[in-house]
Amino acid sequence: MNPYIAEAVAAMDKVPVSRYEHPGSWAMDPASCRFLAGFVRALGAKKIIEFGSGFSTLMMAREIAPLENNYLLSIDSSPLYSAMAKEAFDGSGCQAKVEFRVAPLRPRFYGPRLLLSYSLPAGLLEALGPFDLALIDAPHLDYGRESVFYDVFRALAPGGYVVLDDANREDMERAYVRSWQAAYEGAIDPILLEGIGNGLGVIEKLSEAGPAYPGKGALTASLKTLNNFGRLLFLPEEQPENTGD
């Protein structure tokens, strides 16, 4: 087994996840949060990027805080949820260097695949990297998850990792991983941890390569993108649950 994964699995039971802090079903599952924190520690990751700000931001920030030159770039498509994640982080007292950034999701072509993509200035991620770890936890509704890997790959250090949440879903994350394998072939090594939370994909970047964006499934992916972009534009953003009395 991959030694970092083994170390994280061995350590995860001892990682505390406060039920008072964990915001509920939109956040990563508590077991996934425990693994994630253990994995950041096992890797000795200092420089992290995530897509989907929230409770995961705090879990990872707490792990990197004691390390010199730590940095976590947390990107979200929603000004509302980005601000809520920032407020939670600022109130936590954690001293890690965390930068929150809002980037709207827009359709963009990756070869023949039209995908929802976080709009970021070209070259920004490469300029801020190389990152030791990237977390992909974009909105559950099939928004923006496949494209992130293509966007972040070059900004990831060789030997760096991507963690993908909700990796058990057949027509979504499992299909994205198959597309990434087709695009990068032997340059990546994906492992599925089916039994943790809703499944976690842990993907190691072995070397620089590609991508050769796959034609297989491109039409379905593109139609889904158009449908999802319509939902994004015309359905109002779900408001946070009122947890007060």
Ligand X SMILES: C[S@@+](CC[C@H](N)C(=O)[O-])C[C@H]1O[C@@H](n2cnc3c(N)ncnc32)[C@H](O)[C@@H]1O
Q: Does 168 bind ligand X (CB under 6 A)?
A: no
Considering beta carbons, is residue 76 or 204 the nearer one to ligand X? 76
Q: Which among 70-78, 94-102, 178-186, 194-202 is the span making contact with ligand X, rule CB under 6 A?
A: 70-78
Q: Does 77 bind ligand X (CB under 6 A)?
A: yes
Return d(Cα 114, Cα 95) in angstroms, integer: 39
Question: Taking the complex as a whole, how short is the minimal distance between the CB of residue 18 and ligand X, in angstroms?
Answer: 14
Return d(Cα 34, Cα 27) in angstroms, integer: 13
- Report 190-209 residues binding ligand X (CB under 6 A): none
Question: Taking the complex as a whole, how short is the minimal distance between the CB of residue 23 and ligand X, in angstroms?
Answer: 6
Q: Which among 131-139, 168-176, 181-189, 192-200 is the span making contact with ligand X, rule CB under 6 A?
A: 131-139
Helices (H), 112-185: 124-128, 145-152, 175-184
Residues 6+ apart with CB under 8 A from 74: 49, 50, 53, 57, 82, 85, 98, 99, 100, 101
Q: Does 52 bind ligand X (CB under 6 A)?
A: yes
Q: Does 79 bind ligand X (CB under 6 A)?
A: no
Amino acid at 202: V
CA nearest neighbour of 203 among 182, 185, 177, 228: 177
Considering beta carbons, is residue 57 or 225 the nearer one to ligand X? 57
**Residue 236: alpha-carbon gap to chain centroid:** 23
Q: Does 87 bind ligand X (CB under 6 A)?
A: no
**CA atoms within a 13 Å half-sphere pointing along the CA-CB vector of 201:** 30
Report how many residues bind ligand X under the rule CB under 6 A: 18
Residues of this chain that interact with ligand X (CB under 6 A) are 26-28, 52-56, 76-78, 81, 137-140, 238, 240
